[in-house]
Amino acid sequence: RDAAENGLSVHVSDYTVPKRELQKLVVQHCKSFLK
């Protein structure tokens, strides 16, 4: 999970996504991952 979050943050920072949007993406990603 740490590696995934690390890669995700790096990927997102490349696009300079606002933190609020980043949190939304992470939540959606975690939910779909847990399904």
How many structural domains is the chain composed of? 1
What is the reported pTM? 0.39
Q: Which residue has the higher pLDDT, 35 or 21?
A: 21
Q: Report residue 18: phi and psi, to 5°.
A: -55, 150
Which pLDDT tens digit goes with each residue over 3-33?
666 566 665 555 566 778 888 988 998 888 8
Query: Residue 29: what pLDDT?
Result: 85
Residue 24 has a CB neighbour count (10 Å cut-off) of 12
Domain that holds residue 23: 1-34
Positive or negative, the CA dihedral 8, 26, 1, 35 is negative
